[in-house]
Amino acid sequence: MNNSRTRITRLPLARWLAIEFSVIVILSLLWTIESRLAGYSAFVGGLIFIIPNAYFAHRMYRYQGARNAQLMVGNMFRAEGIKLALTAVFFAAVFILMEPVHVPALLFTFAVVVVIGGVLRFLIQPKQQL
């Protein structure tokens, strides 16, 4: 039997999240050049994306194997719904509770991290595990 077919692939989620977090920190530092509020808002905008995404990854990749396929599909839809709800709640909380907000920094960083997340799906290859 082909040995590559019997291996389980494992996504490098820690590296993925570390890259996204690094992008958030770099963008926040760049926005800090304009003002401290812009840097802080940029950091919060990145966290609005990364926290729900980390939750989704945790819930989605909890189960592996063909025997858990039904659990995986159920978790996928549940986790995606909760991820979208968390994102909406975080945006609402920022605009309601955070009094001075630099909106361009917040939204720009959020958008850049969304794009980076999509690009990382193509750049980071899953690791094969025996």
Higher pLDDT, 125 or 55: 55
For residue 68, what are the contacts with CB-CB under 8 A and spacing of at least 6?
Answer: none
**Pairing state of beta strands 8-10 and 127-129?**
antiparallel
The C-alpha angle 85, 103, 80, rounded to 5 degrees, equals: 15
Kindly tell me if the per-residue pLDDT of 1 is higher than 50.
no
Residue 101: per-residue pLDDT? 93
Residue 42: per-residue pLDDT? 95
The pTM assigned to this predicted structure is 0.80
Q: What is the pLDDT of residues 24-83, one digit of tens each?
A: 999 999 999 999 999 999 999 999 999 998 888 878 776 666 566 677 777 788 888 999
Q: Tell me how far apart the alpha carbons of residues 106 and 40 are, in angstroms, rounded to a whole number.
A: 8
pLDDT classification of 122: cutoffs 50, 70, 90: confident
For 44, the token pair is 């919060």
Beta carbons of 109 and 46 less than 8 angstroms apart = yes
- The number of beta carbons lying within 10 Å of the beta carbon of residue 89 is 12
With a pLDDT cut of 70, the percent of the chain lying above it is 81
Q: If you average pLDDT over residues 1-25, what whole number do you get?
A: 70
Q: If you average pLDDT over residues 112-118, what whole number do you get?
A: 90
Q: Tell me how far apart the alpha carbons of residues 36 and 57 are, in angstroms, rounded to a whole number.
A: 31
